[in-house]
Structures are given as C-alpha cells and as structure tokens.
Amino acid sequence: MIHVIHIDFETRAKRRLGKTKHPDNQGLWKYMKCPYLRALIASYRIDDQPLKRWQYGQPCPDDIRRAIAEGAVIIAHNAAFERLLWQLYLTPMLGWPTVRREQFKCTAAKAAALGLPRDLDGLSQALDLKTKKLGDDGKRLIDLFSVPRRARKGEDKTLTYFNEPEEFPADFDLFIRYCDYDVLSESEADERMVSLSDATQQVYQLSERINDRGLRIDMPSVRAALRIARNTKTGVDAAMHRVTGGTVRTCASHAALKKWLEAQGLTVTSTDKATVADLLEMEDLAPEVREALELKQNAKSSVSKLEKFEQFVDPDTGRVHHAFVFNAASTGRFSSRGVQLHNMPRPRKEFIDAHLDLDQLFEFIGTGDPGVIEFMYGPQLGKPLHLLSDALKSFVIADEGKELCVADYSGIEDAVGSWSAGEQWALKAMAEILADPKNKPDMYRLTAAGIYGEPIEKSDPRRQVGKVSRLALQYEGGVPALFSMARNYNLKLHTTYGPVWSAASVERRERACKRYEKCLKRNEAKTDVLSREGWIAGELIKIGYRETHPNIRDGWSILRDAIREAVLNPGTKVRALNCTYLVAQGFLWCRLPSSRCLAYASPRLKQQVWFYDFTTEEAEVVAAEQGYARERAGEGRVKSEATPAVTALGVNSVTLAFERFGLYGGLAFENIVQAIALDLLNNGLLLAEAAGYPVIGHIHDEIITEVTRGFDPDAKRFEKLICQLPTWAAGLPLGSSGYSGNRLKKD
C-alpha cells in the first residue's frame, strides 16, 4: 500500500512571499534559502488517520518517517512550498528523511485544471467545503508570527526579531488551528476533485524540475543597465516637466498627468499603458499633448524588469528559480511570476530588423553610460530606455561551458486553429510553406490577398494587415480585437482605409458603414478612439477575414450549438470539430484530441430574447437574462424568444474572482486551440528532456534548453525533435525556428 500524506507547514523568515511588492518578497527559492527560515509548525494526516501536529524542536514524527521510507505520496496545496522546504531545510537542517520530487502532488494544480480557484480560500468557497480557511484571522496570524517585527525599546535596530510563540500563547494556539484547517480543507478538496491524469502529472513533475534548474541572468549587465535606465529616466522626467509647463514633475506622476490631460480637453480614465497607447491613436492631438503621452509611453518598463532580475536572482547560483506557474489558466497554459518572463515587452520593429550583434550591444551596455548607447546606435534606434527594453530577453544567458538551444513553434495557434476547424486551404498552404519556405508566400501574404482580392508581395506593406488579422480575428473578435493587435505591431488602422475600401465590394462597404453607425450610437467597440475611416477599415478587414475562413467562422457556431446541446442533455456526448463535450459531475467537460479534458464548472443555460435596440430599429440579441433585456428595452420592444446561451463558473484572469461568464463559440474555440497548443508544447518539452536537452524555461510557445557547448552543433536537429507529432495530431502543420547561442534573443 502506498501511503498518502496530506501536510501543511507554517514558517517564518526575513524574506516574504505572496503578492506583496515588499522588497523582501524575492520569490519561493530565495525564501527557502533565507538564513532566518524556521519551520514553526506542521499539521498532517496519513491516509484516513486522525490529524496530527508537529512543532519546531520536535524530531520528525515516526509515522512520517515510516511512510516516506515506503514511498509515500505527499499532497499539499501549492506543493512546491512544502517540497522545497523539505528538500532545502527539513532534511539538511533538521534531519527529516530525504524525499524525491516525484513523490509530490499539488491540489492547487488540480484545482486549476478544473477551472477552479488556485488559492485555498477561494477553492474552499467554490467547493463549499466543510472546513474552510481562517480568512482574515489567518492573515493576522501570519503577520504576527511569520514575518519580522519591529525592534522594541532598547533592542538593536540593525538585528532581526520575531514574535515568539510563548509571547502570544493564545494566538499561537489559533495559528496551530489555522494550519489544521488548511490540511483538512486541502484533503477534503483533494477527495472532491478529479485527479490529474498520469500524462498531466508527468508534465507537472517536469515543470518543477525546470523551476528548480532556473535561468542564469547576466547580473553585471543588469546592474550596468540599471545605471543607464536611471540616468536616462532623469532626462525623460525633465522633459515631461518642461512640456507640461511644470504641472507634471515626473512620468510616474499619474494623477498629475491625468489632470493635465483633462485640462487639455481629453477625457482620461487612467494613464496606464493601454490607455496611453489608445490616446496616441487619436489623429488630432495637440503637439504638446502628443509629446507628453509619448514621454509617458517611453518611460519603458525596462527599469522595473531589470529591478525584478536583481530582486529575484539567487546570488549563490546567479539564476532565477521558480519563475513558471503550472496550470495557470483553465486551458492549462503556463504563466510566470516574479520576473514575469511571459510578459516581456515586444521589441521594436527597427530593433528586430537591425539584427544587432548582441555581444557588442552588451559591451556597450556594460559601460553603464547612456551616451555610449546613443552615440553607437543613433538617435532613433539608440534611445537607451527603448534599447534596454528591446534587449530584455537577452539578459538571460547560458552558464559557463554551456549554451542555450532554443526553438519557438511558428504560428502554432494559427496552425492549430485551421487544423481544428478543418480550414483545408490554410492547412494545404501551411504544409507547402513548411516544405518550401523560401519560395512559397507566407500565411500573412495569403490572408492579405484574400482581404484585398489580389496577390501580395513580400515587401508589400499590406502584408502587415494579413499578419494582424490572423493574430486577432480567429476567436470571433471584431474591431476592438483587431485594434489591440494592430497597436502591438504599430499598424495604424486609418492608414489602411484607402486600399481596404477600394478592394471591398459595395455590399461589404454597406455592412461596415451600417455597423459603424450602430456602434457609434452606443459609444462602443472603440468608436471613441478610432476615427471613422480607421474603424470602417477594421470592420472591412474583419469581414474579409471571415469570408476567407468559412470553416473557422462556422466553427464558432458549431461549438456554441454543441455546448448548448450538451448542457441541455447531461450525460450525452456531443462531438464538435475534433472535441467532445459532456456534462457530468457538475462540470461541462471538453475532451481534447489528446484525451486531456477542459472543465467548466456549474454549466447552465441563460434565457435570451430578441429585442429592438434603443439606438436602432433593428433586432439585436442581448447576451443577458430576459429580465435585463426587458428592463433595458421595455416590454414593447421585446420581439421574441431567442436561443439560450451557456454560462459557467470560472476564474477571471484579471481580477481572479470566481464568477459566471458566457461561453460563446469564439471563446470555446480559443480555449480549444490554446489547450491543444499547450499539449503540443508539453509534448515538445518531454521530447527535449528525453533526448538530453535539459529544459530551463519556456516563454509562450518557445522552449529554452541549456546544453553543454557543442552538444548540438545544428539547431535544426532540435527544431525537428520538438515538432515530432503525437499520433492524435496527425496532419497538423507544425514547424519551428531555433538557434544556439550564449544569450536568449528574439529570433
């Protein structure tokens, strides 16, 4: 019999964990290496036995020793914490038995795979567990016992002090009960939830191995870059002070800038990155307003990213560890934390096109002098903050005697989308491009040709329209989605109006104009940001994309209808595209081609009606309850019943709230495509490991390995390796591009 240990520890250390921006929050790995670390208490239960406790100063419990010796499975919530505590502290410092990474399972990862909250408190509420966390009281107890206290009168303020258990016996007893509740909650949740499949558990173990290895950071260059960034920032702040007539002192003065912009006649909700980018799309900005907004935009995130490198790097290893989050999204996709490697700014086009010698660039960065950067690369390319932002990925380097072997799947979501929907012309074109990339027009040119109605050459600027539309419109998005993606690629929609309008049929033009007037009256869909010509150009591009991708377009409604049928008929399998939907055990399941399942909690139908909109005399379906539609439109404007929509419970990716959302066709398609893309990425990660390429990271669809120098003299071998398709993905046109070198880069 393999024993199961559910366990939770409460600790204290000078360093911190959690979402706090406190400078002592330096990540899980550095927390475990803090010299002040102490495991205070543990609560645990083995199999179905009663709950037990351990406190600092006591030996490792005999029953834990026996269970570990017999190969017990250890289950914890966010199990990396318990595992690293065990491996880096309990075993070497307190003599606990040695454990292996493979013995651990994580209930937070299990919850995320079901679309449930990762945090134990949220999970307890979502599952309505019998035992729940001690919410606010728990936070108070952690602040009392787990972090340093202020020095008291007469104590040396240069030393670190903690509240001791004997000073607050009643609170410490409550702290022990808090730990008890965590174990009872996580063990009940573990019993209530469907387990990860063996294949997914294997990827979880690999993810932990990757996190343990970490990525090496070029810290001398980071420190030099910070000197450049801080010196440059002084000049940018001075320019902001000048252009605003002394009203805004620095680019970080958000409230002052907002107030100044409003005084210039702009309606501004905030001055965050997205809002500033939206405002810069406006064509009639006063010169001083445009300059102020550009200064704000140019105060790049490079400084904060560089500071994160400095904050989270382990000085002993020179590496950032545990930067990746397994099962961060309901589709299973990874994300990152700490240095946020998945959220690196996109390099400028001129930086990519320049193909700079990175070794030479980092020699100049190493001087710490912004003037050297400006002199060597000129006034445009050599703007120090921009150039540091462009080069952020390249601060990740190989260890001594090693090199990075990297490959990035090429247009994987595009390929998966066409494969899933059966868009045959696109699949055929992708296969031909993979076979002869030098002589075949790429997908961006082919898509632009469909929009414009004529062949597009490689140098034709209209190719960018094809690129942006392929990236933005696959998931039933409209002008707002296109606008957001166009902004990322510096494409101004109003500049495309002339050729897009000329290429469009009379029928397409009428549809686009009619749609614009409707959205303008409602003040929605970016009509407050885009000019009329820019908005109509976007709508024409959307129409063109949908007409040239009929299978993808039809796939949205096929999925919507299949999901509705599955919810109406629990227990019945409903096939749609290459997936199967089924409602069982309180979830809507979507079985992917890989056999992995996506889960949507508590699916239900929402009744809808057709009604005459306030601003037009045309019927519009409202994605809301009947009562909302009748309240908004009035009984006299309701026309007829409409097909019900499916809703489910899930975690909001922005607010992290567990809330109900509408599962429309485009969203279902996006979930499927991104989940299949993850399955292919996971397949590549496992293939790389098995072939002797130790994986140290992954950024979206890019796999980063670190090998002994000369291990793979030809990166093409690695590219082919990770593109080996599993049997379930037969016919999927998967390609990649890669390189070997000392630094990570934008290939």
Parallel, antiparallel, or unpaired: how do β-strands 319-320 and 638-651 relate? unpaired
Contact between residue 211 and residue 83 where contact means Cβ atoms under 8 Å apart: no
Strand order in the sheet with 319-320: 319-320, 215-217, 396-397
- The residue type found at 31 is Y
Find, among 588, 522, 524, 519, the residue nearest to 560 by Cα: 588
The vertex-169 CA angle with 164 and 171, nearest 5°, equals: 90
Parallel, antiparallel, or unpaired: how do β-strands 579-584 and 574-576 relate? antiparallel
Distance CA(313)–CA(338), nearest Å, equals 10
Find, among 123, 94, 125, the residue nearest to 110 by Cα: 123
- Give the residue carrying structure tokens 């227990």: 571
Parallel, antiparallel, or unpaired: how do β-strands 597-612 and 695-699 relate? unpaired
Find, among 525, 595, 597, 603, the residue nearest to 568 by Cα: 603
Beta bridge partners of 216: 319, 397
> What stretches of 25-76 show up as alpha helix (H) in DSSP?
28-32, 62-69
Find, among 596, 745, 588, 589, the residue nearest to 678 by Cα: 596
Q: How many CA atoms lie within 13 A of 174 on its CB side?
A: 16
Q: Which stretches in the chain have pLDDT values below 50? A: 615-617, 619, 621, 623-624, 629, 636
Distance CA(226)–CA(323), nearest Å, equals 21
CA-based torsion, 270, 232, 241, 252: positive or negative: positive
Strand order in the sheet with 736-741: 695-699, 702-708, 402-409, 736-741
pLDDT, position 458:
83
Parallel, antiparallel, or unpaired: how do β-strands 104-106 and 73-76 relate? parallel
State the pTM of this model.
Answer: 0.90
Using only the alpha carbons of the chain, give its radius of gyration. Answer: 28
34-73 burial: b if 16+ Cβ within 10 Å, else e = beebebbbbbbbbeeeeebebeeeeebbebbeebbeeebe
Distance CA(225)–CA(393), nearest Å, equals 13
Contact between residue 341 and residue 309 where contact means Cβ atoms under 8 Å apart: no
**Token pair in block for residue 8:** 């939770």
Distance CA(203)–CA(596), nearest Å, equals 12
Find, among 324, 245, 332, the residue nearest to 291 by Cα: 245
Q: For the chain, what is the largest distance between any 2 Cα atoms, rounded to a whole number of angstroms?
A: 85
Beta bridge partners of 708: 402
Backbone angles phi, psi at 482, to 5 degrees: -65, -40
pLDDT, position 118:
93
Angle subtended by helix axes 287-298 and 219-243, to nearest 10: 160
Find, among 346, 245, 232, the residue nearest to 292 by Cα: 245
DSSP for 477-516, please give it: --HHHHHHHHHHTT--GGGGHHHHHHHS-HHHHHHHHHHH
The vertex-318 CA angle with 217 and 339, nearest 5°, equals: 50
By CB neighbour count within 10 A (0-12 exposed, 13-18 middle, 19+ buried), where does 606 fall? Answer: middle
Beta bridge partners of 319: 216, 314
287-302 burial: b if 16+ Cβ within 10 Å, else e = eebebbbebbebbbbb
DSSP for 649-683, please give it: EEE-TTT--EEEEE--HHHHHHHHHHHHHHHHHHH
Contact between residue 647 and residue 660 where contact means Cβ atoms under 8 Å apart: yes
pLDDT, position 346:
82
pLDDT, position 565:
96
Contact between residue 11 and residue 79 where contact means Cβ atoms under 8 Å apart: no
Q: How far apart are the first and last CA of the chain?
A: 51
**Token pair in block for residue 441:** 């027009």
Contact between residue 685 and residue 332 where contact means Cβ atoms under 8 Å apart: no
CA distances from 522 to 110, 283, 342, 526, 620 (A): 42, 22, 35, 11, 13
- The residue type found at 67 is A
680-706 burial: b if 16+ Cβ within 10 Å, else e = bbbbbbbbbeeeebebbbbbbbbbbbb
3-state helix, strand, coil in the chain (%, to 5): 50, 15, 35
Find, among 310, 219, 314, the residue nearest to 29 by Cα: 314
Contact between residue 176 and residue 203 where contact means Cβ atoms under 8 Å apart: no
Find, among 454, 434, 452, 456, the residue nearest to 444 by Cα: 456
- The residue type found at 245 is G
Distance CA(437)–CA(630), nearest Å, equals 55
Contact between residue 78 and residue 108 where contact means Cβ atoms under 8 Å apart: yes
Distance CA(703)–CA(696), nearest Å, equals 8
